Structure formats: C-alpha cells, structure tokens
Amino acid sequence: MSGNVKQAEKVSMDPKYIATLTVRLFGTCLVVAFLLGLVNMVTLPNITARQKAATDAALKQVVENPDASEFSDALELSGDMTAAASGAGATLSALYAVTEDAAPAGYALTIVASGSQGNIEMMVGVDEADVVTGVSIVSNSETPGIGSKVMGNEPTASGTPVLDQFIGKSPADGTLSVGGNIDAISGATVSSRGVTTGVNAALAVAALMD
C-alpha cells in the first residue's frame, strides 16, 4: 500500500505531469470562455432589444400626450442628481428629456426603489412645472396577487388606480407618504411605499432641473 502511495506522490510531483495538467486546464478554460462569449454574442442583441422595447413602452406611458412626445437619449447623470434620489431613498438610473411638438415638456426618470420582494424599477414622468404626469412599472419581483396589484395599477379602496393617484402630484403636496396623501392597495402596503419612494425621488431630481 505504501508503495502505491509513494508512486502516486512521485507522479504528482513530476514536472511533465504538472505541465500537462496545466496545459489541459488552460485549454479547458479557453474553450469555456469561447463558448460563453459565443452565447453572449448571440443573446445580447435580443436582450438589448427587449430592454429598449420595455423602456420605450414605459416612456410612452408616463407623458400626457404620447403621440406628440419625443424622448432624448439617456442624459448624463450628475452627482447632485444621484444624491437627490438617494436622499429620498431610491436610485436614479436614467434620465430622459421630453419634448412635445418640439417644445420642452419635462423629463422621464428611471428610478429603482425597494419593494417587498426586491427592487421595483419604474419610470416617472414629470412636466416642466414639476408635476407628475405618470408612473409606469418597468420590472419588479413583487408577490403575485398582493404586491403585483400595485404593479398592475389596480384600484385602491377609493376606486382610483394606485399608480394613477400620483398623477398631478408636485412638491406643493409635500413629501408623498402612504397613509398620508397616498393610498395603498390593501395588503400591499410595502409595495405601495416602494412606488411612493420612487416618485418622491423623481420629484427631488426634477427640482434640480428647474
């Protein structure tokens, strides 16, 4: 038995064996890297196209006159903008200028806020007077049948669609809060708060653009 162990140790310490093993491992890594790159090259265009389609749809949903509105490419974000969103409890990930019949009509902001099951990515439209023109959910992982009611813009107890109640809100209304000037969907308070946080963040950023 000891002879077999010594033989194995000798083989494992053989420079040729080590070199061969290294070459094989390197070759395997190259093949795996090539395959991963190939998969990424094939799938990336489709992923990018889907993301753009989702963004374009969300932009159209948060302006007053979608047929007459045009949107810029994503603008460069300043430190003040990201700090304003962060101060309100959310993250600013993109900002678009909106024009209507070639005249400035405000901004559309992509905001990420925390929900009950993860991040909620939303688009918030704000006009030139810092008044919310619409809120659209881009992506979320909220609980089906509970938080998803908020994401799907279902009505609150008052009958108003939960996302539509933000339309017309502005800094003049003060900080928006669930239970204060915003109604939650029953059983989905955390999700409602997440969207409310996102809208507060959008208004905070828009105020810097005046």
Give the C-alpha separation, 206 to 209, whole Å.
5
What confidence tens digit (pLDDT) does each residue in 87-100 have? 999 999 999 999 99
Answer yes or no: are the C-beta atoms of 154 and 185 closer than 8 Å.
yes
Closest CA to 187 of 89, 116, 112, 113: 116
**SS3 state at 147:** helix
In this prediction, residues 149-175 reach a mean pLDDT of 95
**Model pTM score:** 0.77
- Contact call for residues 117 and 148 (beta carbons, < 8 A): no
How many C-beta atoms lie closer than 10 Å to residue 99's C-beta? 14
Across 193-201, average pLDDT:
98
Counting every residue written for the chain, the total comes to: 210
pLDDT of 15 over the 80 cut: no
| Residue-wise pLDDT tens digits, 102-111 | 899 999 999 9
- To the nearest whole percent, how much of the chain has pLDDT over 90? 69
Give the pLDDT confidence score for residue 131 in this predicted structure.
97
Task: Find the helix packing angle between 79-87 and 189-208, rounded to 10°.
Answer: 150
* pLDDT tens per residue, range 134-157: 999 999 999 999 999 999 999 999
Contact 66, 112 (CB under 8 A): no
Asked if pLDDT for residue 44 goes beyond 70, the answer is no
Q: Computed over its alpha carbons, how large is the radius of gyration of the chain?
A: 26
Separation of alpha carbons 127 and 134, rounded Å: 10
Q: Is the pLDDT of residue 114 over 60?
A: yes
> How many Å apart are CA 162 and CA 133, to the nearest integer?
14
User: What pLDDT score was predicted for residue 55?
Assistant: 84
